[in-house]
Amino acid sequence: MATAAAHRTARTAEDGAPDTAVDTAAYQSAFDAAVAADERIEPRDWMPDAYRATLVRQIAQHAHSEIIGMQPEANWITRAPSLRRKAILMAKVQDEAGHGLYLYSAAETLGTGRDELLDKLHSGRQKYSSIFNYPTLTWADVGAIGWLVDGAAITNQVPLCRCSYGPYARAMVRICKEESFHQRQGYELLLALSKGTPEQHAMAQDAVNRWWWPSLMMFGPPDDESQHSAQSMEWKIKRHSNDELRQRFVDICVPQAESLDLTLPDPDLRWNEERGQHDFGAIDWTEFWDVLKGNGPCNEQRITQRRRAHDEGAWVREAAAAYAAKHTGTTGGTGETRA
């Protein structure tokens, strides 16, 4: 909850919009005070337009990542090598769809709609995490995604549980619990492979070799090239810089890789006694920007599949809307909500 002062100020005008510059200044200072006091901004509170826009962009991108992120893993559901693993993977992909739903709901509290956000995803106007533009080539990739990709996501997302925007912070609390579980499952999958036959061990190592660097890229560009960082940290949407979180992730992964009996593909990776942290090699930022621009190995495939699922499902959504109109007298919206 924002401060009482902010509430009073923000909710005086029922139409929500301040009429004068004087009002705007008062709203702004109440907002600033609430953020400074580490209080939560809620949907009906006044907020700067840029804060709203940043959150919509970030939450939508997060939601899209959950939805697109189902694809590389779903790629292995039908080939999972044991029934137990198959059940775990199905449950995980189902959780991701659920996370997408929470996040679209959180974005909707900011005055946008799921349909609109999906349109933007489908037309390329909004992005999703670049990591999902890499292919899952072996079963071990499912483990590497759990361990490294979910691990990086958690490192990024745990601080978001304290994000200044209430609905986003609360969604992250629920999501992080499930993500930690997924991450442990991924680790456990890799451990089984690593301790298995030589072929299985090689499969695990190959997967880690391919997913390590893309996982480090998940923290975004270096601090001096990150255009949104400073403002997001001021608003307490973000709590730590990209490079800080990336470092934290590397330091967590090194001992885990050792206990997995797998190596990380970085000849420059070593403990730095002075810093009390690991030094690591340079990230290939050319590749990062290239994937971000749409030229990764699976960009085209991922968005095509998403669009196709949506387009081929249109008649189903229309049927649900028509049925709702006949039987409840409402228009049934777009059919996105099933009775």
Partner 1 sequence: MTATVPATAALALGDDALVLSHRLGEWAGHAPVLEEEVALANIALDLLGQARILLSMAGDEDELAYLREERAFSNLQLVEQPNGDFAHTIARQLYFSTYQQLLYTELAAREGPFAPLAAKAVKEVAYHRDHAEQWTLRLGDGTELSQERMQRACDALWRFTGEMFQPVEGLDVDWADLADRWLRSVTDVLGRATLAVPEGPRSGAWAAGAGRQGLHTEPFGRMLAEMQHLHRSHPGASW
Could you list the residues that contact partner 1 (CB under 8 A)? Answer: 67, 70-71, 74, 77-87, 90-91, 93-94, 97-98, 100-101, 104, 139, 189, 192-193, 196-197, 199-200, 305, 308-310, 312-323, 326-327, 335-339
Output the smallest distance, CB 138 to partner 1, in A: 9
Output the smallest distance, CB 72 to partner 1, in A: 9
Residues 6+ apart with CB under 8 A from 107: 55, 56, 59, 60, 63, 114, 117
Residues 6+ apart with CB under 8 A from 214: 130, 131, 134, 149, 291
Phi, psi for 270 (deg, rounded to 5) = -155, 155
Output the smallest distance, CB 312 to partner 1, in A: 7
Q: How far apart are CA 126 and CA 143, in angstroms?
A: 28
Output the smallest distance, CB 47 to partner 1, in A: 27
Output the smallest distance, CB 211 to partner 1, in A: 19
Output the smallest distance, CB 80 to partner 1, in A: 8
**Shorter beta-carbon distance to partner 1: residue 91 or 252:** 91
**CA nearest to 55, candidates 161, 163, 179, 155:** 163
Q: Report which residue type is found at 276.
A: G
Q: How far apart are CA 327 and CA 2, in angstroms?
A: 42
Q: How far apart are CA 134 and CA 124, in angstroms?
A: 17
